[in-house]
Structure 1
């Protein structure tokens, strides 16, 4: 057990990270939403960004409420807040993978006919893919709500001595079901994200090699931009894999629950979310312009 002062420091860092994510998400929705109202048109990427910003805004608020309520009131069960967090987290995974697929199809320079077909098709299907991500997350929450309801009922009868053995076994089964559900629900969008990012990195790396063979004054600046993009994609790929693994490990609440290391775990998880939100804002011209004005 670490000193209480260290715990307070970790909680403060977590709160600052949460505020940063909330501000980033609000800015994404506000800027792109205002642009949509003015122009009456929105690109597929901006649709996903607005959806992802709204999702992460709700995700972070539910995370803050659930973590503080469950940490300072361990005898209460705040499963309804946990359901909101699980829903927004699942939806965030699907939206992130969808964004990676769209970027891959738009930017990758492969000349295979499949890429031409995808580039023509997927951009028109983005609204339906967003709806599909929402429906998939809703279906997942039905199973989560049933699981949490059974868990609450088990905790209410746990004080009966003769029911302890049966209750503990059922709780173990539910815990294993939770981990299996998280594996199935999150692994599919995670693999889509990883595959799309690796394909995009391969395309940029191949294009960089071609540019090096025909380097010029203007080509040097382009190669520098390509190299920066490759490093950014590689770094974020590592971060997102870490985020996926931390989410799976955190499903076993008994490892970090109600300890100082619980807040360290939360800091690690949402640091990746904040980094991703920052990279998305810097990659979008409209958001980048607003950031420059605000910073100035």
Structure 2
């Protein structure tokens, strides 16, 4: 079957977005790995960023392989690629929520006991929290895969028996609703943690910004600019990761066939938010910002003798 022009259009955009995300993820991993080799250490934020880069790399490859393989051969159900996508997507949510928690603990001006304790311990806890995110994602996906395999085996055995059409459709509907509910439950917990941490950090920065507005010194003006920039970044970060969460949930709830233009339009929207989200993550790391400035503006020329550098 020859695809329509609309499907080809969305498929092309999706392919370009996939390549962009793969390149962005590769840059994050390559730059931070080089930084790790040179300096022999990584900051907590960079540890999370390099983990996110690896996850997004495999997430996008599994998404592209699954979508194009399912379009070319719909009868061949590549369930193992779907499991890789679901695992990496779940891990992305946990790592993003962990990044939001680190920002909230280190930057916020709250003086509650729990914040002071976390601020003192967060640097040591990051490797354990990364390992914990990996283990939680592994356990949830293993349990999810086993349950789905069990229900599908029940469905296949019922389809082979005559006169079970009504029961088969009931089980199929239950399986789809169960998958949607399970997917919601898996992603909602880390997303709620991300949302809470980001909102708390925005509230803390707004409170501190109101406190320094009464001063008219040059230092307070620079502090206000820094706080305003941080607030814009956090709002940007919150909007696009929330958009990614909502589009994932909507696409899960309204299961569309790979042959339709609506499916490819949905994939285009989902991964455009991923690409923008990755861009915001890259701008949060000084090492990555330095690479982006050099690649966009070219290498900095040496200053002429007698001039101020």
Whole-Å separation in 1 of the counterparts to 2:217 and 2:16: 45
- Cα offset for 1:111? 2.5
- Cα offset for 1:83? 0.4
- Cα offset for 1:178? 0.9
- Cα offset for 1:19? 0.9
Whole-Å separation in 2 of the counterparts to 1:92 and 1:132: 13
Change in 2 beyond 3 A, CA 1:51/1:279 = same
Residues 1-296 of structure 1 aligned to structure 2 (within 5 Å): 4-150=4-150, 153=153, 154-155=155-156, 158=159, 161-252=162-253, 254-255=255-256, 257-295=258-296, 296=298
Question: Cα RMSD (Å) of the superposition?
Answer: 1.9
User: Higher helix share goes to which structure?
Assistant: 1
- Cα offset for 1:232? 2.6
Could you list the runs of 5+ residues in structure 2 that have no partner in the other structure? 299-309
Change in 2 beyond 3 A, CA 1:112/1:38 = same
Whether the aligned pair in 2 keeps the contact of 1:83 and 1:144 (CA below 8 Å) is no
Whole-Å separation in 1 of the counterparts to 2:130 and 2:51: 8
What do the CA deviations read for 1:18-48 (whole angstroms, capped 9, x no partner)? 1111111111111111111222212211111
Whole-Å separation in 1 of the counterparts to 2:236 and 2:204: 17
- Cα offset for 1:242? 2.1
Change in 2 beyond 3 A, CA 1:169/1:275 = same
Q: TM-score, normalised by structure 1?
A: 0.93
Whether the aligned pair in 1 keeps the contact of 2:256 and 2:262 (CA below 8 Å) is no
Q: Which has the larger radius of gyration?
A: 2
- Cα offset for 1:152? 5.0
Whole-Å separation in 1 of the counterparts to 2:243 and 2:293: 30
Paired residues in the alignment total: 294
Match of 2:301 in 1: none
What do the CA deviations read for 1:33-71 (whole angstroms, capped 9, x no partner)? 111122221221111111111011000000001111112
Could you list the runs of 5+ residues in structure 1 that have no partner in the other structure? none
